[in-house]
Structures are given as C-alpha cells and as structure tokens.
Structure 1
Amino acid sequence: MPLTFAPVDAEAWPLYVVEPEEVEVWCAQQTDDIRRWVEASGFSGALGSALMIPGPGGTPQAALAGYGTARQRARDRFPLAAAAPLLAPGTYRIASGVPDDALAMECLGWLLAGYGFSRYREATPRVPALVPPHRINARRIEIMAEAEALTRDLVNTPAADMGPEALEVAARNLAETFGMKAEVITGDALLTRNFPMIHAVGRAAAQAPRLIDLRWGNSGPLVTLVGKGVCFDTGGLNLKPASSMGLMKKDMGGAANVLGLAHMIMALKLAVRLRVLIPAVENAVSGNSFRPQDILTSRKGLTVEINNTDAEGRLVLADALAYADEEKPDLLISMATLTGAARVALGPDLAPFYTDDESFAIELEQAGRRQADPVWRLPFWEPYEALIEPGIADLDNAPSGGMAGSITAALFLRRFVEQALSYAHFDIYSWQPRPAPGRAKGGLGQGPRAILDALAPALDL
C-alpha cells in the first residue's frame, strides 16, 4: 500500500484532535445532539482514543481523536497515529487541535501507521486516508514515508532473501530509479582492488562479499554515506549464542538506513554530489573463515589484530571509510548496527552519534527533535584511544574489558578518516522491539530524517 496522502480536494470528514482538558470546551461549542453523543460515549480525549460523530440519518459527519496530555505525548513520537487505526474507513481532514510545529510529523506518523511488511503475508494495517493540511510540505512528508518504508522492508527481509546479492539488487534498483551510477566490486576482485578486510570478513559465506558504490549529482558539496551491510552475522568462529543470533538479519541496518537517506536526498533534489558505499557481506563459518588472533592489513595500511570475529562490522566499514576518505568529501557519514554497548547505554529508541564537528552536532540534535528522529551525541573520548592499540598490531578490533564498547568502536573507525572535512558516525539499532504509534514492530529507520534536516545548514545549501 503506498504511503501517500489523499488528494487535497477529496471529500473528507473533519477530524478534531482534542486533549482531555479540552473535551468539555469542545462539546460546549457543538449542538446538543453532538454533546450528548460525546458524553454518552465516554470520550475523554485520552491518547489513542477516537470517536465517530453521527450526522442526520446515522452517517458520520465528523470524528474526534484523543491527543492525551503533554506528558503522555512525550512518550510517543507520533501521538496522533495512535488514533488513526481506530477511525472508521474513509478520508479525514485535520480540522483543529494539532499545533503547527507538530503538524508535519503527526502527518508523517499517520502515513507510517499504514506501513506493514507484506512480503510473506498480507500485513497492511487498516488506516484511513488523510488529506494533507495546506500548512505542510505534503510531498516532502510522502518522500520521508517512502524512504522509511524502503528501510523497514530491507531490514525486515530475512537473510535467505536479503543476502549480499539481494542487497546489491536493492541498491541497483534505487540507482535505476534516480539515475545513479553504480559500480560493484565482488569476490576476489576486492583483493586486487585493495579491500582486504571486506574480503576477509565475507569470504567464508556462500555469497561473495562485495563493495557497492553508487553516485548521483554533478554539483554541490560531496556527501558520502557509508552503511554497514552485514546481511547476517553468525559471529564467525566466535559464534554467537542462539539468543544473540535471532535478530542478525538486521545487521545490514546501516546499509538500509543510508539507502533510505539517499532516497530522500535524491527525491528532494538536494544540491549535493552524493556517494553511497555499502560493504555487503555475510559473516559466516567455513574452512576459510578469518580467525581470532589473525592480523589483517587494511586498505589504509593500518594493521588490525582480530580479537573477536564477532566485531566484524568495523572491519568492513574501515576499508569503505578509507576509500571514501581518499576523495576528501565535504561530509562523510557512517551508519551501522555496530555495538550492543550502544543499546546498553541508550536503549533501542535513541541512536548515538559521534562527531568532532561541533556545529554539525548541534544541528543534528536539534533536527532530531524537529523530525521525531532522536539522536544523542556521545564523545570520541581521547583517553580511550589506548584501548584499541594492542601492541602487536596498529589496532585491536575488540578491546578486552567490556567497557565503553560503542566509544572504542567509534574511535576505531575514526582512525580511517583523515581527509574528510566533516565526519559523523551513527551506532544505530534499526529495530522497533514493540509496536508503537507509527512504528510497527520490526525494522526501523534511525537517524536519516535528522541527518536530512541538518544537511542544509551544515553545508550552506
């Protein structure tokens, strides 16, 4: 089902969005019949409540949606989306009750409430149509919904149908849609082209490892997005237990998120040169798996001691980041489902990011609040640099001790970026563990809307 608005001239029932303390005031302004109907129905304005208002002959003439208290709304990114599935089928137009500064995101939440992952069975929620308010940029909101649906679909698809080959197909489909140039380096060609760590991580899998390289645009600042595309992570020879392997189809969430972000950048025709790099691999177990204690030489020339084959995401990202950095981009962004430590620190709802660019950090945090896409800055903490230096090699891919795991991973990646004008790394979860308004259980975009919003001020677009 396309996540789109109804035509602006469509016939629609007015939808009054009402907080609990406003129900009595709203009723006092209505006819006696409507007032008695609302009172008899027990409508309280609670978050996630809805009520159809009958007109002459019993057919609906309007609807109410509960908006809850400010404290209740703070717990949901898209409060209005809680009421949308409860309304009768039809088309609605928001008549009142949503503040102007929340209107765009509430409309996005309404569209996203209609998302369902239907590749294997019909799962489209029953959400009525919405006429976009004239005060929002409706097409921009639809593009955001399209990008989010793309990201969710990719993450939700199991590895049997979303291995490195299928991820390449998805990237090529996006490239074809927007006229991107695509190059893919596959298998042993990774060695001849000097991507040794991507090759080492992916060589044991049935599908060959690859580096997907997409380009779009001919003018403007160069924005390069690097997304971790580990299509399934067994942990390698440091095999994960079953409890940790269950969600590893989502370990390509970084790739899914940068593809969603790229979709938005191109659909909105931002004045940038865009590059997307995705190292696509499966971390599998075979006779030629890379091993603990191996020392790999990266594209950049830095040597890396492997102290845990389950810390493979930073290895494939490192080669891709070094490649991206050689071009001296104006903005380089990496996104990855990289560490469990980030989830311990911030939980599944909040995506940490790292950057040395103070102005970009401020823009990102403000944009995250505006776009209902929260991000939180963590530090590139210099005193921890020693933790990623094992002595026998330049770098350690999995420092012992178990502390500050997200920070040490980010410091590891920063070692491969020297020439980019600005660099930011996002350690995302890309998964909604429980259903919430506008956010079905399953794959989730984390960070792309905040990044999109922050690009214009960061790059003077």
Structure 2
Amino acid sequence: MPLSFEPPNEAVIPLHPVTPATLADVLAHLGDSATNWAEAHDYKGSFGAALAIPGSGGAITVALAGLGDETEQRRQRFAMAAVADALPAGLYSLADGLSGKALDEAALGWLLASYRFDRYAGKRPPQARLVAPDDVDAARIEAIANGEALTRDLINTPASDMGPDDLEQAIRDLANKHGADISVIVGDDLLENDFPMIHAVGRAADQAPRLIDMRWGSEGPSLTLVGKGVCFDTGGLNIKPGRSMGLMKKDMGGAATVLGLASTIMSLSMKLRLRVLIPAVENSISDDAMRPGDILTSRKGLTVEINNTDAEGRLVLADALAYASEEEPDLLISMATLTGAARVAVGPDLAPFYTDHDPDAEVLASSALKVRDPVWRMPFHDPYEALIEPGIADLDNAPAGGFAGSITAALFLRRFTDHPRYMHFDIYGWQPSSAPARPKGGVGQGARALFDALPDLLP
C-alpha cells in the first residue's frame, strides 16, 4: 500500500505540536476545557506523547503532539511518528508550531510510521492519518517515504520469496513503472561476459546468479548505484552458525536500499542519468560451491584468494564496480550489508561510509544531519592495504587477524575502481527493535541523506 497523505474529505482534527516549554501557551489558547483535560492526564508534552482531547459530545475535537525537550529531541528522532502510533484512528492536520526541516521531518515521520509489512499477515487495524501539511512539498515527502517502503518490503520478504529470480522481477516492476531500461546477464553467461566472481559466488544455488543493469534518464550528470544483492547467505562452505544465519534474508539490503533511492529519484523526475547495478546471487552450499583456498580472477584482472567463503559480498561487488567504472560516471556509490565489524564499530543505527573525496563527505554529513539519517565517515586507511595482500594472489577476501574488518573490506572494493568520486556504505539494513518511524525489521540507511545531498553532489 503506498504511503501518502490523505485528502481532507472528512472531519479533520487539529493536532498541535508542543514541547514542555510551549505547552502552557498552547493550552491557554485552546481554553479551560483542554487545560483541565491535560492536567487530569498529567500531560507534559514529552517526546512522542499524544493526547486526544474530546469535546462536549465525546468526539475528539483537538489533539496534542509531544515533541519533548531539547535533550529528548537530541537523543531521539521522529517524535511525530511516535505520536501517530499513539493517536486514535482519525484524520488529523498539523496546526501551527513547526516549519522548515522540523515540519518536513514531522510529515515524513508520520508517513513512515504508517508502514506495515503485511504480505503474510491479516488486515491491519485503522490508523491515524494525516492531511498534507501546508508548506511542505507533499509529492517529495511521499516519494521519499515510498522509496523507503520499497526498501523495507524487499528486505523483509523471506528468501523463499526473494531469491535472485524474485529480486530481478522486483527491479523489472520498478523499471516498468518509471520507463527505465533493464538488461540481465544470467548464469554461465556471466563467465562469457567476464563476471567470474559473481558467477563463482552464486553458482551453487538453485536460482542462477545474475547481474541486473537498470538505466533511467537521458540528460544531466551521471550517477551509478551498485547494491549488494546476496538474497541469502549461508556462508558457503564456511557455513555460518544458525544464530548468525537467522537474519541473512537481509543480506540484499544494499540492493534494496539503492533501489529505494532509485525509486525516489525516478518518482520525482530528477534531471540526471541513473544507472543501478545489482549482482543478485544466493551464497549456497553444494558440490559446485567455491572453496576456501580457491583463487579467482576478477573482471579487472586482479586475482583473489578465497580465505573465507562467507566474505562473498565484496566479491560480487568487485566485478560490478569494475564494470561500473568502465563507463566513468560522475559519481559512483556502492551499498552493502558487508561486515559485522561495522556494527561493532558504530552499532546498528549509524551508516558508515567511505570516500577519498573530502567535499563529498562534507556535503553528505550536512545532509544527514538535516534529514535525520545518520551517517559516519570511516577512513580508507592506506597503511592497512598490506592486510589484504596475501602473497599467493593479488588480494585476500578475508584477512586474518580480525582487526579493522570494515576498513579492509572497503579497501578491497576500492581496488576495483579508480574512480575519484567513489563512495561506499557498509550498512546494517535492519532495525533490531521498534523505534519511531522505524518498526522492527528491514530499514534503509543513508538513502535519504544521499537524496538530499544529490543536488550538491551532482550540480
């Protein structure tokens, strides 16, 4: 179901955003009845607290939305999303009190709060709905929310229904919706077209590995997005323990996130030339699976020693990045649920990114703060290059020692592109527990920050 604002075709309940500091003034404006009701419920305007105030007939006539104090707002995001979840069903409109980026955040948070993954569940109960606030670009907010919803749906769908075949179909559906072109190289054709590492990772699975190439737009600067599409990751012959394998339907979170970003870009008809490359595979186990100790020759010609078959994402991305670089786009971005080391470093909420281009990093960091989509720059630390050089081959896909795992993975990827404006994201793609605007499950990371930054990254 698309995430959208509602037309005011029924009675609309005014919703007043308040903080602990502004609550008294708002209540004084609303009158004694509202003041008495708030006092009776000990309402303070804390973060995410909702208060529906009835009129003399018992129906809700006005409501309050708690934004919290400065400390709460600094520690949490999307207060209005929490309010949306707490209010009774009905149609609401935001009264005065928010403007600029705070209003945009409130409107987006509300839409994101209405997301439900209900493909396998029954009908959801009625929810609080929102009229598009004045002074927001409703089409833009809806496009961002629906891009995120696409990302979540793709990640949340189990691998039984989101293998390489299904991911390809989802991309075809997206391409058809927006008039994009798509081409796909499948199975042994990957070898004939010089994508040996994508083939090696996916050849053991029932569904053949493939490289999906979607293009949209005919004018403006060029942007290429590469997303890791490992639809399920057993670890291969270096099989994961069950505890680590349980969430591996999300190992195509990089692909899902770039597709959500692509959806937003195309929905709003941005003036750029967009290319999306998705190496879609399942890392399975069979007598044909790649083995520890194997040496693969990549599309770029670099040889790679396989010291752990569970470090497969960087292999499929490497061939795709080499291919993307041959066209020399203005900006090249990869996204992947690549390493556990990134989670140890920054936890599940921050999206680490790597770039050698300082101006791009500054623009992205500014946009991330603006749209409340947190990212954190990590270093392409050149002294660690030696860690990914095993001696027997040009590169090692899984350096021993366990240190700096996210950095060495990023350095590995950088070897396959000499693009001066290459940016890599090592995301988690999963919300471990529910938070405002982010229910437990699949989640996009970094896409909203990138979308906000694109006008400055690609002027």
- Shorter-chain TM-score: which interval? over 0.9
Secondary structure at 1:369 match in 2: helix
Instruction: Please tell me whether the aligned partners of residues 330 and 421 of structure 1 are also in contact (alpha carbons under 8 angstroms).
Output: no
CA distance in 2, matches of 1:30, 1:217: 51
Correspondences of 1:58-457 after superposition (within 5 Å)? 58-122=58-122, 124=124, 126-418=126-418, 420-457=419-456
User: How far did 1:9 drift?
Assistant: 7.1
CA distance in 2, matches of 1:386, 1:69: 49
Instruction: Please tell me whether the aligned partners of residues 356 and 420 of structure 2 are also in contact (alpha carbons under 8 angstroms).
Output: no
Instruction: Please tell me whether the aligned partners of residues 328 and 421 of structure 1 are also in contact (alpha carbons under 8 angstroms).
Output: no
- Code of the residue aligned with 2:377 in structure 1: it is R
CA distance in 2, matches of 1:129, 1:356: 44
Q: What do the CA deviations read for 1:161-188 (whole angstroms, capped 9, x no partner)?
A: 1000000000100010011111100000
User: How far did 1:124 drift?
Assistant: 4.0
Secondary structure at 2:75 match in 1: coil
CA distance in 2, matches of 1:167, 1:145: 20
User: How far did 1:421 drift?
Assistant: 4.5
CA distance in 1, matches of 2:330, 2:30: 57
Q: What do the CA deviations read for 1:136-192 (whole angstroms, capped 9, x no partner)?
A: 111100001111110000000010110000000001000100111111000000000
User: How far did 1:99 drift?
Assistant: 4.5
Which deviates further from its counterpart, 49-58 or 398-407? 49-58
Instruction: Please tell me whether the aligned partners of residues 296 and 304 of structure 1 are also in contact (alpha carbons under 8 angstroms).
Output: yes
- Code of the residue aligned with 1:20 in structure 2: it is P
Which deviates further from its counterpart, 18-27 or 153-162? 18-27
Secondary structure at 2:95 match in 1: strand
User: How far did 1:90 drift?
Assistant: 1.3
CA distance in 1, matches of 2:261, 2:29: 45
Which deviates further from its counterpart, 265-274 or 3-12? 3-12
Secondary structure at 2:21 match in 1: helix
Instruction: Please tell me whether the aligned partners of residues 114 and 126 of structure 1 are also in contact (alpha carbons under 8 angstroms).
Output: no
Instruction: Please tell me whether the aligned partners of residues 357 and 420 of structure 2 are also in contact (alpha carbons under 8 angstroms).
Output: no
CA distance in 2, matches of 1:177, 1:161: 21
CA distance in 1, matches of 2:123, 2:325: 42
Q: Which runs of 5+ in 1 are unaligned?
A: none
CA distance in 1, matches of 2:77, 2:185: 40
CA distance in 2, matches of 1:309, 1:31: 67
CA distance in 1, matches of 2:64, 2:262: 37
Q: Percent identity?
A: 63
CA distance in 1, matches of 2:374, 2:123: 27
**Normalized against structure 2, the TM-score is what?**
0.98
Secondary structure at 1:172 match in 2: helix
Secondary structure at 2:262 match in 1: helix
CA distance in 2, matches of 1:259, 1:161: 17
- Code of the residue aligned with 1:379 in structure 2: it is P
CA 1:320 to 1:107, structure 2 compared with 1: closer, same or farther past 3 Å? same
CA distance in 2, matches of 1:9, 1:453: 32
CA distance in 1, matches of 2:32, 2:301: 79
Q: Which runs of 5+ in 2 are unaligned?
A: none
User: How far did 1:27 drift?
Assistant: 2.4
CA distance in 1, matches of 2:123, 2:307: 42
CA distance in 1, matches of 2:163, 2:90: 40
CA distance in 2, matches of 1:122, 1:404: 44
Q: What do the CA deviations read for 1:263-320 (whole angstroms, capped 9, x no partner)?
A: 0111111111111100000000100110111100000000000110000000000000
Instruction: Please tell me whether the aligned partners of residues 20 and 44 of structure 1 are also in contact (alpha carbons under 8 angstroms).
Output: yes
CA distance in 2, matches of 1:69, 1:350: 23
CA distance in 2, matches of 1:35, 1:380: 57
- Code of the residue aligned with 1:38 in structure 2: it is A
CA 1:216 to 1:237, structure 2 compared with 1: closer, same or farther past 3 Å? same
User: How far did 1:125 drift?
Assistant: 6.3
Instruction: Please tell me whether the aligned partners of residues 115 and 124 of structure 1 are also in contact (alpha carbons under 8 angstroms).
Output: no
- Code of the residue aligned with 2:275 in structure 1: it is R
CA distance in 1, matches of 2:362, 2:202: 37
- Code of the residue aligned with 1:370 in structure 2: it is K
Secondary structure at 1:20 match in 2: coil
**Normalized against structure 1, the TM-score is what?**
0.97
CA distance in 2, matches of 1:69, 1:158: 40
CA 1:126 to 1:369, structure 2 compared with 1: closer, same or farther past 3 Å? farther
